[in-house]
Structure 1
Amino acid sequence: MTLSFFDQFSSPMLMGIPLILVALLLPWLLLPTPTRRWLSNRLLTIQGWFISQFSQQLLHPLSPAGHKWALLFASLMLFLISINMLGLLPYTFTPTTQLSLNLGLAVPLWLATVIVGMRNQPTQSLAHLLPEGTPTTLIPILIIIETISLFIRPLALGVRLTANLTAGHLLIQLISTAAFLLLPLMPAVAALTTLLLFFLTLLEVAVAMIQAYVFVLLLSLYLQENI
């Protein structure tokens, strides 16, 4: 029984063909496409308002050179939120519970911010590896530590998103299994467990949105150090 708890995190297969590509492309089909008309429906209006508010809050601390990344950050934010939210539905699959996918998103984007910094301001980018006023004897050690922390950033991005979503999904399945088993034995306890499951589901909805925001926010902070 315990091993089956992790079946929800395995990539779905159909006749030996992995369906993770379908899970990645489906959210784009559900998002409404903006039109050229002056008057649009309420859904498009809400979507446009959300994107503008998110871009304004995220890019406010950045210099004008970083505003070129607005479209990429907004698209990534909507993509991650859609995947995380759809993964909470029954009989669905959450691609962001796969560490390989999260690292596939984190490593290229982090590397792009590093390349931008090394190309535009190499001196300031390399200066982050050695804090100002460091004693001479500690310079080699601090350079090694800062270099390791720099290369750990994409790993931390991917692991944070994977761990939070995986833990939430596992907790929901554990509590729902307990409520199902307790229903014929102790109905009152099962009802309380179901109520706890309801609030936990609401919390997981918030986690799905917050983790998508944190992922993009950390990328913007990395970009801020290199522009």
Structure 2
Amino acid sequence: MTLNFFDQFMSPSYLGVPLMALALTLPWILYPTPSARWLNNRLVTLQSWSLNRFTQQLLLPLNLGGHKWAALFASLMIFLVTLNMLGLLPYTFTPTTQLSLNMGFAVPLWLATIIIGLRNQPTAALGHLLPEGTPVPLIPVLIIIETISLFIRPLALGVRLTANLTAGHLLMQLIATAAFVLTSTTPTVAALTTAVLFLLTLLEVAVAVIQAYVFVLLLSLYLQENV
């Protein structure tokens, strides 16, 4: 019986109970909790240093009003990176390949940035819909285009993360299947295919980190326009 290549992206369930909640809870168990001691072990120290560097780099272009989002952005970055990396392990499930989950992250956070802009500086927030110096005949067209681009932003966030991870996992499975089939017939080609699979795995590790960073970075840029 030949399984569908897309079966790996189906949400797992046990006795009819979806295991998505368990998959979303697992990443938080893997990280050590910093203690109140003056000195921590190397793992906690490295974790704290990485978080500080990431937060400093992410909030550099934001003003003081956007620094309130530091904890949220850092938590979201760690959460997405962990989910993406755990999905590369054998016999695991990647929740971030589900468009519904990614849209559940993208839409509320994008909407929060829009609401903050309309509440704190409505004139500047609405001013993004019409560039300065636009000719009068083009004003209605540009307003419509900018409004559409504004509402496409959360869709682009969710689809980008889903498409990149799904394509990478699917390509890895295709190459792994090819290497397994070619082992008995042409071992040389199978060895070359296995080497390509190893390189692709390294690439997917980089993609897992980069896509999580891009997701949070774009949210920070949307926030920068509204604070």
Residue deviations 1:180-227 (CA, integer Å, cap 9, x gap): 000000001000100100000000000000000000000000000001
After TM superposition, list the pairs within 5 Å mapping 1:189-204 onto structure 2: 189-204=189-204
Q: Tell me how far apart the structure 2 counterparts of residues 107 and 34 of structure 1 sit (CA, whole Å).
A: 31
Q: Which residue of 2 aligns with 1:73?
A: 73
Q: Which residue of 2 aligns with 1:170?
A: 170
Q: Which residue of 1 aligns with 2:40?
A: 40
Does structure 1 residue 88 correspond to structure 2 residue 104?
no
Q: Which residue of 1 aligns with 2:214?
A: 214
Residue deviations 1:104-134 (CA, integer Å, cap 9, x gap): 0000000000000000000000000001111
Shift of 1:3: 5.8
Does structure 1 residue 4 correspond to structure 2 residue 15?
no
After TM superposition, list the pairs within 5 Å mapping 1:26-65 onto structure 2: 26-65=26-65
Distance 1:112 1:2, change over 3 A: farther
Q: Which residue of 2 aligns with 1:108?
A: 108
SS at match of 1:132: coil
Distance 1:154 1:2, change over 3 A: farther
Q: Percent identity?
A: 75
SS at match of 1:140: helix
Q: Tell me how far apart the structure 1 counterparts of residues 150 and 3 of structure 2 sit (CA, whole Å).
A: 36
Q: Which residue of 1 aligns with 2:128?
A: 128
* Runs of at least 4 residues off by over 6 Å: none
* Paired AA for residue 216 in structure 1: V
The runs of 5 or more residues in structure 1 that have no matched partner are none
Q: Tell me how far apart the structure 2 counterparts of residues 164 and 132 of structure 1 sit (CA, whole Å).
A: 36
Q: TM-score, normalised by structure 1?
A: 0.99
The runs of 5 or more residues in structure 2 that have no matched partner are none
Q: Tell me how far apart the structure 1 counterparts of residues 94 and 222 of structure 2 sit (CA, whole Å).
A: 26
SS at match of 2:147: helix
Q: Tell me how far apart the structure 1 counterparts of residues 76 and 61 of structure 2 sit (CA, whole Å).
A: 19
SS at match of 2:4: helix
Shift of 1:135: 1.0
Q: TM-score, normalised by structure 2?
A: 0.99
